[in-house]
A = this chain, B = another copy of it.
Amino acid sequence: MPDAKLLETFANPHPRRPYTIEHVAEEFTSLCPKTGHPDFGSVILRYGPGRTCVELKSYKLYLQSFRNQGIFYEDVTNCIAHDLIGLMKPRWLILETRWRGRGGIRSTITVSHGRQG
């Protein structure tokens, strides 16, 4: 079950300088809430850090917590974005999920928060 409490932060070591962090997790999996079949995809996170950054190992464990959750593409994307925005209060954040094909159709969902740059 997705669990935002798994997420940890560390203090941004360079809080005054705007810069960009990107993490690409290519091994994401959850379950289709309709059929129970597994979905596979990538989760691309880009953000401008504020006072804190998400700690990489805790982020990995958080993503793994979706493994046996039945959840739609749109909800996965908005859920991860929501949890990370609440956790880090970033200057801006873009969260993109890219899903391998189902029935010959590949999907990508993208949520933006704030203005990059």
Contact = CB atoms under 8 A, between A and B. Distances in A.
Quick one: copies of this chain in the complex? 10
Interface string A15-41: 001111111111101000000011010
A78 B24 contact: no
A56 B37 CA distance: 15
A67 to B, nearest CB: 7
A89 interface: no
A106 interface: yes
Interface string A77-117: 11000000000000000000000111111111111100000
Contact of A67 (B27, B38, B72, B106): B38
A53 interface: yes
Interface of A: 12-14, 17-27, 29, 37-38, 40, 49, 53, 56-57, 59-60, 64, 67-68, 72, 74-75, 77-78, 100-112
